[in-house]
Structure 1
Amino acid sequence: MRLDKYLKVSRIIKRRTVAKELADDERVFINGKKAKPASEVLVGDEVEIRFEHRHITIEVTFLSDKIMRNNPPMYDLVSDKKVERPPLS
């Protein structure tokens, strides 16, 4: 499944265009490598997303093309780090 679609369907990011923009800005990594929006995501992959104020790392546990209530969790949260920005002087 495409990275941008996975991030939307798994509800990590609300809109696919936002997921695409993050990947285009080189802020998404799959197994430690920079990922493009069309990069393939597989079960067992570790995905790191660097938002402005936090960095999260997840492990992909399930893939589905549709958001459904009875689907198992699509990821396990590995880490969630808050990132402090240096003060402006």
Structure 2
Amino acid sequence: MRVDKFLKISRLVKRRTVAKEMADQGRIKVNGRVVKSSYDVKIDDIIEVGYGTRQVKAKVLDLRETTKKAEASDLYELVD
């Protein structure tokens, strides 16, 4: 699954187009490397998303094509 789609489905980013723009600006890292929006996310990857001055790190636990809002947080686990 593409990283921009995963961020949208997991609700870490509200819109896929916003996630794509963030990746194009180099604000998304997977396992410590800056990636493009087309990067293929795998289970156990560590995704870092830069929101201005704040960084969010999340470990991928599951990949799904669609999810309900209540189940979105089951797709990842926040990491310090």
Identity %: 39
Structure 2 residues not aligned, in runs of 5+ = none
Structure 1 residues not aligned, in runs of 5+ = 80-89
Structure 1's consecutive aligned runs of 4 or more residues displaced over 6 angstroms after TM superposition are none
Aligned residue runs from structure 1 range 2-81, under 5 A: 2-68=2-68, 69=70, 73-79=74-80
Instruction: Return the index of the structure with the highest Cα Rg.
Output: 1
RMSD: 1.5
Partner Cα distance (2:11, 2:72) in 1: 12
Contact 1:8 1:16 in 2 (8 A): yes
Structure number having the greater helix percentage:
2
TM-superposed deviation, 1:70: 5.4
User: CA distance change for structure 1 residues 72 and 50 in 2, over 3 Å: closer, same or farther?
Assistant: closer
Structure number with higher relative contact order (C-alpha < 8 Å, ≥ 6 residues apart): 2
Q: Deviation per CA, 1:26-67: give whole Å up to 9, x if none.
A: 010000111100000000000001110200110000100102
